[in-house]
Structure 1
Amino acid sequence: MLSATAALGASLLAAGPVHAATAPQAAAAPQQATLVSAKAKVTSAQKSKQKKRAAKAVSYAYKQIGDPYRYGGTGPGSWDCSGLAGGAWRKAGVKLPRTTTQIYKKLKKHRVSWKGAVKGDLLFFYSGKSHMGIYVGNGYMIHAPSSGKKVKKIKLTKYYKRNFSGAVRPGY
């Protein structure tokens, strides 16, 4: 009886790993398909919708110029850098995460280059992407700089280009 049990156990052990090895392979295929579809090209209708949303976000950001910076500020009335971006895009119908790193991570499939930035894109600076602004075109961005300062539109100088760490395009 013991040898029959041992034989049965050995056959189950042999069958177990074969069955287990088959299951993850089957599960891997749908994940690959998801990744491929997540990187699919954006349609012209999606681009048009994104452009309209970006225009609303930029318009809202302009209206916040002069508001004070407040750490953790999500408006209205006072902002930090990610709060301003989130508030502007929320006004355009797009919900963004709260912090700079969360925003960049969520939108990483919609990355853009420094030269490829268009109105409404979110520009990130410094290692760790600890600061951000909303690109408004013609080499300018609106941002909430730091404590004691106010939301303002600034020229993207060489300083910002040196400290640039990425950009994303919300609104899809």
Structure 2
Amino acid sequence: MTAHKNVPSVLSRAGAASALTLAAIGGTMLAPGAVPEAHAAAHSTKALNIAASKKGAPYKYGAAGPSRFDCSGLTLYSYKKAGKSLPRTAQSQYNKTRHISASSRKRGDLVFFHSGRSVYHVGIYAGSGKIWHSPKSGSVVKLEKIWSKSVWYGRVR
């Protein structure tokens, strides 16, 4: 078995054969844990696109779609359509997400606006410092620049 001499001994014969087969056909192997991250990224991208598709939908307190939304209703609806469940309120959504730093944020992550320890608003990060959100009564779902430094970020698991 000298052909496998450079393959680390921690790989089983099947694992080594699979790795060598993938390398021979130009495939790639993901590190352990990478598949759930990639899966989460697919859900968040889909949720972001769903939120964007609701551009212009009117705000209505307590509404969670499909044609009217409040802030957490938009995030709930978007992620539900993307195959993930979230609680109903912005605070509960914050409590359920994996908290991440601003430097780690990615498109599709949730942006939580807070006063002290209380979350009062949520949107979906769109990149370039902007969010899709349903801001307030009399307004509509729109893309807007993040206007506050009092924000936290969360990644839906």
Give the TM-score normalised by the residue count of structure 2: 0.76
CA distance in 1, matches of 2:48, 2:58: 18
Aligned residue among 79, 95, 100 for 2:90 = 100
1:116 equivalent in structure 2: 104
What letter matches 1:168 in structure 2? G
What letter matches 2:105 in structure 1? A
Structure 1 unmatched ranges of 5 or more: 1-41
CA distance in 2, matches of 1:86, 1:47: 20
Runs of 4+ aligned residues of structure 1 deviating over 2 Å after TM superposition are none
Q: CA deviation at 1:126?
A: 2.3
Matches within 5 A, 1:34-73: 43-73=33-63
1:168 equivalent in structure 2: 154
2:68 equivalent in structure 1: 78
- Cα deviation, 1:31-66, whole Å, max 9, x if unaligned, reads xxxxxxxxxxx8100011011111110110110110
Give the TM-score normalised by the residue count of structure 1: 0.69
Q: CA RMSD in A?
A: 1.2
Q: Does structure 1 residue 137 correspond to structure 2 residue 112?
A: no
Q: Larger % of helix: which?
A: 1
What letter matches 2:106 in structure 1? V
Q: Secondary structure at the match of 1:154?
A: strand
CA distance in 1, matches of 2:137, 2:68: 11
Q: Larger % of strand: which?
A: 2
Percent of aligned pairs with the same amino acid: 37
Q: CA deviation at 1:115?
A: 2.4
Q: CA deviation at 1:119?
A: 0.8
Q: Secondary structure at the match of 1:141?
A: strand
Structure 2 unmatched ranges of 5 or more: 1-31
